[in-house]
Chains A and B, each alone.
Chain A
Amino acid sequence: GDSVTQMEGPVTLSEEAFLTINCTYTATGYPSLFWYVQYPGEGLQLLLKATKADDKGSNKGFEATYRKETTSFHLEKGSVQVSDSAVYFCALSERGGADGLTFGKGTHLIIQP
């Protein structure tokens, strides 16, 4: 079956540091890939997505590129802020949309001033 593996953390960085959160996946077909973010006390929000190989999703300074050859969708940001502290979830959907999303276990990111 489908699965998503991501570093679990917590990941602690200083403000303005470079961020990478690794995500790899296993799927039988050609899934769409997503990063969701959960800020403290809030619901999950879609951060970015990519629907086919070599697509780059970007939002709020975050980027992730759909790498079919390495089955990866690593999340990156050049300079993190304290307000980026949250739990980040990598996810895939084989059916193209948001139904039947398979999530990773989440990565807790802590940014220190």
Chain B
Amino acid sequence: GAGVSQSPSNKVTEKGKDVELRCDPISGHTALYWYRQSLGQGLEFLIYFQGNSAPDKSGLPSDRFSAERTGGSVSTLTIQRTQQEDSAVYLCASSAERMNTEAFFGQGTRLTVV
């Protein structure tokens, strides 16, 4: 597609429920990233996929968070047993390759846990 597409754009969920957030990267981009933007905080790196390599999960805040990237394209970020502190905007980005390249960001999914 023309840009990085994320769905849903907004999600309200009850505490304790699981949620799945989807990211469609730009076609042909091998690198995909997830970031989280919390109110009053900067953007926080969560996870990074590069081609078929094992993902860099160093930014995931807890074992309730996981992500997959199927077929080297679409990615799903899953948050299990959501907590109120998980409320944030979750941003996905992709780039053509890892080194010295521009990352293109989607508009994000605003998650609200009530």
Contact = CB atoms under 8 A, between A and B. Distances in A.
**How would you classify the secondary structure of chain A's contact residues: helix, strand, loop or mixed?**
loop
A74 interface: no
Interface in A63-113: 89, 91, 95-106
Contact of A101 (B3, B41, B45, B99): B45
Contacts of A51: 100
A104 B58 CA distance: 19
**How would you classify the secondary structure of chain B's contact residues: helix, strand, loop or mixed?**
loop
Interface residues of A, number: 25
Interface residues of B, number: 31
Contact of A104 (B40, B42, B93, B102): B42
A105 B42 contact: yes
Contact of A102 (B45, B48, B91): B45
A99 B31 contact: yes
B108 A43 contact: yes
Interface in B9-67: 31, 33, 35, 40-45, 48, 50, 56, 58-59
Nearest to A106: B42
Contact of B95 (A98, A100, A103, A105): A98
Interface in B79-105: 91, 93, 95, 97-105
Interface of B: 3-4, 31, 33, 35, 40-45, 48, 50, 56, 58-59, 91, 93, 95, 97-108
26 contacts: A41-B107, A42-B107, A43-B3, A43-B91, A43-B104, A43-B107, A45-B105, A46-B102, A46-B103, A46-B104, A89-B42, A91-B43, A95-B98, A97-B97, A97-B99, A98-B98, A98-B103, A99-B50, A99-B56, A100-B56, A101-B45, A101-B103, A102-B45, A103-B42, A104-B42, A105-B42
